[in-house]
Structure 1
Amino acid sequence: MGLVKINNIQVYTYNGVLPEENRLGQRLEIDVALTVPIERLGTKDRLNETVNYAKVYDSIVTIAQTQQYQLIESLANHISQELLRQYQLVEVVQLRVRKYSVPIAGIFDNVEIEVQVNR
Structure 2
Amino acid sequence: MQRQHYAASDLAALGREWIAAWNSHDLERILALYAEDAEMTSDRIQALGLAASGTLRGKDKLRMYWSKAFQLLPNLHFDLIDTYVSPDSVVVFYQNERGAQICEYLRLDANGKIRQGSANHLAH
Shared fold per TM-score greater than 0.5: no
TM-score (norm 1): 0.31
TM-score (norm 2): 0.30
Instruction: Indicate the structure (1 or 2) with the bigger Cα radius of gyration.
Output: 1
